[in-house]
Amino acid sequence: MKLALRELVRRPGRFVTAAVILTLIAILLMFLGGLLDGLIRSSTGAVRAQQADAIVYSESSQASFIRSRIEPEQRSAIEALDGVDRTGGLGVVQLGARVPGNGPRDLANVGVWGYEIPPDGVPEPPAPGEVWADEVLQADGVELGDELLVGPARTPLVVVGWVEDTSFNGQGGLWAEVDTWRQVLGANRPDAVLADGVFQALVVQSADGDAVVDTIEAALGTEVEAFTVPDAIDAIPGVTEQQTTFNQILGVTVVIALVVIALFFALLTVERTALYGVLKAIGARSPTIFLGLVAQAVVVTLIASFIAAIGAIVLDLLIPPGSIPLFISPSRIVTSVVLLLVAAIIGSAFSLRRVLKIDPASALGG
């Protein structure tokens, strides 16, 4: 083990090629993982921010805000259930917004939300005609105090403050009081106008926690569908498919890293056959030699991962918010490093059989 680590210090040039390739693979792994996390955040932020134990949609809506309708009678029935502390109406309309200073066709994609219970990080509803805007819209040129003209009806909305991580389906959130949301919906989507008291969804807070979902389903199961916030996130169209696709790509990237490490240390073992023969002749055991190989693979991988992590963080800082949905988190970096270390150990293990077969006499030509 000490001999293997000493070789890394005294002859680092022998491992440069593997380190460079692994660094590039690690950067790719972290970038793809960060892109997945960014896409999921931009698709689910508005739902993830809800301070709720349940989100309720109409039964046939398939957890879609656009198709869902919660009537006042249904809301009253839910509020009468044991354990329900508070309910709040919720709705969204997805439109394009004209930004002051931008071209007439250079629209910002926005989701105008009407809410009664403030989501996490969103203040109480602002005054009529005003909105809290998600900071990702800064990439579209939106500034504090701007009057955005929303939708084909060019409904004016004034930005009075910023919120964070409340995008939905890749569109920056504009958070308004209920009457303003109804005005925007009616002016720009006349086919989707809702009567007073009707909402697209209902946010439910309960002393029973997630158990309130079963309570609602048991009482109004033929009229509504209730989800916990994590289940509501999974029900958003495209989220599960994105995760599955990117996880497959990440898996292939890890396999490539495994193959690179396996080939590199297999060639290194062939080059060192005579050296290993000498070591065995003076009493070194095969497991000791193999552990030295594994230690070298782990150290090279850690160095490559460290360089890649710095590169990924710098890349994340250089990319303007809202331009590319990239989010490099500490957990993503740690996960990537762990996957690469597993690949390094498994890859170096392919050299075990060759190490075991080395005979001191034949290796030394005797």
Q: Which of 25-34, 237-246, 285-294 has the lowest mean pLDDT?
A: 285-294
Residue 181 confidence (pLDDT)? 96
Judge whether 112 and 39 are in contact, CB under 8 Å.
no
Q: Which of 261-265, 272-276, 323-327 has the lowest mean pLDDT?
A: 272-276
Question: Is 79 a residue whose pLDDT tops 70?
Answer: yes
Residue 239 confidence (pLDDT)? 84
Across 53-62, average pLDDT: 91
Judge whether 97 and 116 are in contact, CB under 8 Å.
no
pTM, rounded to two decimals:
0.80
Distances (CA, A) of 318 to 138, 245, 314, 321, 334: 15, 26, 6, 9, 21
Phi then psi for residue 247, to 5 deg, are: -65, -35
46/169 Cα distance (integer angstroms):
9
Judge whether 115 and 122 are in contact, CB under 8 Å.
yes
pLDDT digit string (tens) for 329-344? Answer: 899 999 999 999 998 8
Across 11-22, average pLDDT: 81
The residues that bridge with 161 in the sheet, in sequence order, are: 132
Residue 362 confidence (pLDDT)? 57
Judge whether 72 and 100 are in contact, CB under 8 Å.
no
Looking at per-residue pLDDT, the higher value among 128 and 266 belongs to 128
**CA 273 to chain CA mean position, Å:** 46
Split at pLDDT 50, 70, 90, the class of 286 is low
Question: Is 37 a residue whose pLDDT tops 70?
Answer: yes
Residue (of 312, 315, 330, 324) closest to 136 by Cα position: 324
The CA radius of gyration of the chain, in Å to the nearest whole number, is 29
Distances (CA, A) of 198 to 65, 121, 242, 276, 315: 12, 25, 32, 78, 45
Q: Which tokens belong to 342?
A: 């597993």
The proportion of the chain whose per-residue pLDDT surpasses 90, expressed as a percent, equals 51
Judge whether 292 and 361 are in contact, CB under 8 Å.
no
Judge whether 113 and 181 are in contact, CB under 8 Å.
yes
Residue (of 125, 189, 180) closest to 152 by Cα position: 189
Residue 307 confidence (pLDDT)? 94
Judge whether 327 and 41 are in contact, CB under 8 Å.
yes
Residue 139 confidence (pLDDT)? 87
Can you give the residue ranges of every domain in the chain?
Answer: 2-44+239-363, 54-227
Average pLDDT across the chain, whole number = 87
Across 172-176, average pLDDT: 96
Judge whether 107 and 98 are in contact, CB under 8 Å.
yes
Residue 349 confidence (pLDDT)? 79
Residue (of 280, 233, 193, 191) closest to 47 by Cα position: 233
Residue (of 28, 22, 16) closest to 260 by Cα position: 22
Across 284-294, average pLDDT: 73
Q: Residue 359: CB partners within 8 Å, gap ≥ 6? A: 277, 280
306/255 Cα distance (integer angstroms):
20
134/19 Cα distance (integer angstroms):
40
Judge whether 69 and 198 are in contact, CB under 8 Å.
yes
Residue 3 confidence (pLDDT)? 61
Q: Which amino acid makes up residue 161?
A: G
Residue (of 122, 82, 56) closest to 206 by Cα position: 82
212/87 Cα distance (integer angstroms):
12
